[in-house]
């Protein structure tokens, strides 16, 4: 499960060590969309 921390100049992505590579990539992609 990934999380996005908002409120800074850029969003910070937090992921669990147990997350798959695919889940981590999706979390980063979601943060990029939210940042726009």
Contact indicator for 12, 4 with CB cutoff of 8 Å? yes
The pLDDT value given to residue 10: 79
- Rounded to 5°, angle at Cα 19 from 25 and 7: 60
Number of domains in the chain: 1
Question: Using 50, 70 and 90 to split pLDDT, how confident is the model at 8?
Answer: confident
Would you state the pLDDT for residue 18? 92
What pLDDT does residue 1 have? 66
pTM of the model: 0.69
**Structural domain harbouring 24:** 3-35
Q: Please name the residues in contact with 15: beta carbons below 8 A apart, sequence gap of 6 or more.
A: 1, 2, 3, 23, 24, 27
**12-33 tens-digit pLDDT:** 888 889 999 999 999 889 888 8
Cβ 29 vs Cβ 4: under 8 Å: no
pLDDT confidence of residue 21 = 93
């Amino acid at each position: 499960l990934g999380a996005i921390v908002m409120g800074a100049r850029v969003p910070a992505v937090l992921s669990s060590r147990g997350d798959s590579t695919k889940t981590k990539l999706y979390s980063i992609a979601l943060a990029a969309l939210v940042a726009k």
